[in-house]
């Protein structure tokens, strides 16, 4: 008698759930195993304070693949995305603000307050970057090539990117190749003069990586964040009603409706290997489960070196896996508030407009770089770059009546501190965030009821994010496309027959897109009949 399952998926993050949904929809007998009590991974909603429900690590789904939402009919499973406009509002020390709206003309009027020239250049910049970002977006949706052993079938799978490349034209293809490896600072200095405009845009390029805007390759990350954006640049924050856990529960519901089985509190401690072939998994407690195909949504290093083990892998491959860069660089601070924050730059009468989107404190590129410089030498920044969300403006159900919730991503905060540890520095980090917010909202501290600080170390221990990196691997050019997670293994397969990867450590990387899971499911189906 054969195994009851054809596919076992390890890890119930949004990518594992996505892979389960697509495979079950295709008729495969799928079992998904999640070690925690609920699925979702980093995209969960948790009650961190009594009556306050937070999207703990992921704020929104503005980058979620549109095709996935349609394919899995997520709206019928409870997903409601609340758009934000303005998308981003940058707060400035002199009491001004700069907002980026879905409407380009409205953004141009905002920029004109800082530079007439920059306002005139912005639409041209927007058009070009939109075309380049569209190429990257197309690359995100295909399976990378196996360099140097490229097959005809692989080339055919790349046809999806031809149309965006053709729309670039010869001149812009050259520009695409030129700018991709540039520091975002160099790109923005070529286009704009206002330090405030450059700072507001640059912040998007470094939010999820451990580099400052003056570091090479940050243009790629900036364009990756813009890939697929409906307005060409800043994509709506895409707040989920009920928090990010509603999204992952919707994907889980789609998977179950298609026939997948999901087990929580199922901690996989080993992937079984026989004759260089994966044969299933072993759970904590000793239970063994069999399947010809095993897919891991866990990061590559944990999957290959802990769940499989070095003895089943070539020495050179093990060495390469150990060299995958993770380097988490951000902390999360959640605040329960007695009222909306009163930022100097935002009149009280307009708070519920501007606070629907992201509010960032990153006034100039120099400010961001100075924050990065501290982390570069093993310290957290006393004046961090902050990405601030107040989801209760759009969704009052997340907090008690008349109360509000604020979630802050604070950069930079290295995984490993140079002269201390996070247990002794946790409060100091939280205080640096409060102090920074107070510079822009003088009475802010009076509004705080509760505060929780999540360090990169917490993210690793509690949510399985290696070194606190939500991308399961640094998003850099040397870990991009055919090199993610490693050269020769970018097509979701591993050296172990029947073992695949589908997490954020595989192509195209992190963010709540669902694309690693969707792409991996497509590859598994194409190779298993």
What pLDDT shows up at residue 1?
Answer: 41
**DSSP structural state of residue 498:** T
47-66 pLDDT, tens digit each:
989 999 999 999 888 788 88
Beta bridge partners of 49: 52
What percent of the chain has pLDDT above 70? Answer: 95
Structural domains of the chain, with CATH: 7-43+58-81+243-323+475-528 (3.50.50.60), 91-226 (no CATH), 327-463 (3.30.519)
**DSSP structural state of residue 236:** P
pTM over 0.85: yes
Of 139 and 294, the structure prediction assigns the larger pLDDT to 294
Q: What's the start-to-end Cα distance of the chain, in Å?
A: 20
What pLDDT shows up at residue 172?
Answer: 85
The pLDDT of 265-277, averaged and rounded, is: 96
Of 221 and 310, the structure prediction assigns the larger pLDDT to 310
What pLDDT shows up at residue 390?
Answer: 96
**DSSP structural state of residue 305:** I
373-389 pLDDT, tens digit each:
999 899 999 999 999 99
What pLDDT shows up at residue 154?
Answer: 61
The pLDDT of 38-45, averaged and rounded, is: 96
156-184 pLDDT, tens digit each:
666 666 777 777 888 888 888 899 889 99
- Sign of the Cα pseudo-torsion (393, 333, 361, 369, in order): negative
The pLDDT of 96-103, averaged and rounded, is: 94
Beta bridge partners of 97: 91
Q: Is the pLDDT of residue 411 over 60?
A: yes
What pLDDT shows up at residue 230?
Answer: 45
What pLDDT shows up at residue 63?
Answer: 82
Q: pLDDT category, 150, cuts 50, 70, 90?
A: low
Radius of gyration of the chain, Cα coordinates, nearest whole angstrom: 22
What pLDDT shows up at residue 229?
Answer: 52
The pLDDT of 80-87, averaged and rounded, is: 90
What pLDDT shows up at residue 397?
Answer: 95
The pLDDT of 500-507, averaged and rounded, is: 97
What is the pLDDT of the chain when averaged over all its residues? Answer: 92
- Sign of the Cα pseudo-torsion (174, 63, 509, 272, in order): negative
Number of H helices, E strands in the chain: 17, 19
Hey, is 303 helix, strand or coil? helix
Q: Are residues 334 and 54 in contact, defined by beta-carbon separation less than 8 angstroms?
A: yes
């Amino acid at each position: 008698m054969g195994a009851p399952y054809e596919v076992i998926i390890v890890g119930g993050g949004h990518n594992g759930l996505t892979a389960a949904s697509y495979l079950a929809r295709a008729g495969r007998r799928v079992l998904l195993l999640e070690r925690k009590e609920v699925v979702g991974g980093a995209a969960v909603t948790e009650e961190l304070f009594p009556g306050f429900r937070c999207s703990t690590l992921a704020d929104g789904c503005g980058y979620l693949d549109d095709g996935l939402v349609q394919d899995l009919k997520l709206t019928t499973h409870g997903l409601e995305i609340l758009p934000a406009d303005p998308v981003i509002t940058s707060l400035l020390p002199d009491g001004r603000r700069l907002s980026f709206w879905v409407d380009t003309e409205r953004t141009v009027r905002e920029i004109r307050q800082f530079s007439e020239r920059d306002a005139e250049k912005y639409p041209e910049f927007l058009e070009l970057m939109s075309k380049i970002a569209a190429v990257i977006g197309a690359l995100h949706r295909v399976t990378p090539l196996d360099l140097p052993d490229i097959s005809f079938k692989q080339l055919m799978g790349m046809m999806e990117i031809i149309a965006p490349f053709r729309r670039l034209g010869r001149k812009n293809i050259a520009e695409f190749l030129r700018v991709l490896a540039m520091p975002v600072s160099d790109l923005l200095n070529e286009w704009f003069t206002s330090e405030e405009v450059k700072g507001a845009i640059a912040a998007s390029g470094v939010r999820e990586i451990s580099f400052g805007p003056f570091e090479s390759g940050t243009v790629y990350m900036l364009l990756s964040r813009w890939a697929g954006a409906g307005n060409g640049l800043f994509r709506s924050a895409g707040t989920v009603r009920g928090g990010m856990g509603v999204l992952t529960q919707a994907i889980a519901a789609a998977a179950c409706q298609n026939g997948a089985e999901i087990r929580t509190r199922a901690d996989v401690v080993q992937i079984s290997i026989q004759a260089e072939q994966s044969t299933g998994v072993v759970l904590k407690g000793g239970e063994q489960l069999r399947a010809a195909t095993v897919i891991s949504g866990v990061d590559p290093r944990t999957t290959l070196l802990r769940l499989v083990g070095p003895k089943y892998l070539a020495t050179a491959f093990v060495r390469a896996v150990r060299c995958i860069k993770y380097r988490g660089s951000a902390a999360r601070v959640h605040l329960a508030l007695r009222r909306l924050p009163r930022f100097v730059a935002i009149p009280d009468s307009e708070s519920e407009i501007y606070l629907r989107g992201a509010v960032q404190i990153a006034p100039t590129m120099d400010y961001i770089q100075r924050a990065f410089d501290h982390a570069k030498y093993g310290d957290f920044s006393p004046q961090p770059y902050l990405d601030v969300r107040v989801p209760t403006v759009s969704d009052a159900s997340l907090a008690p009546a008349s109360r509000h919730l604020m979630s802050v991503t604070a950069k930079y905060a290295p995984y490993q501190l140079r002269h201390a540890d996070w247990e002794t520095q946790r409060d100091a980090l939280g205080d640096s965030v409060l102090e920074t917010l107070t510079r822009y909202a003088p009475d802010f501290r009076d509004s705080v009821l509760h505060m929780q600080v999540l360090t990169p170390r917490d993210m690793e221990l509690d949510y399985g994010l290696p070194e606190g990196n939500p991308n399961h691997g640094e998003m850099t050019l040397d870990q991009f496309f055919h090199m993610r997670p490693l050269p020769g293994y970018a097509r979701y397969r591993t050296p172990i027959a029947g073992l695949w990867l589908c997490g954020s450590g595989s192509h195209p990387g992190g963010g709540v897109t669902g694309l690693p899971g969707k792409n991996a499911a497509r590859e598994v189906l194409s190779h298993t009949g």
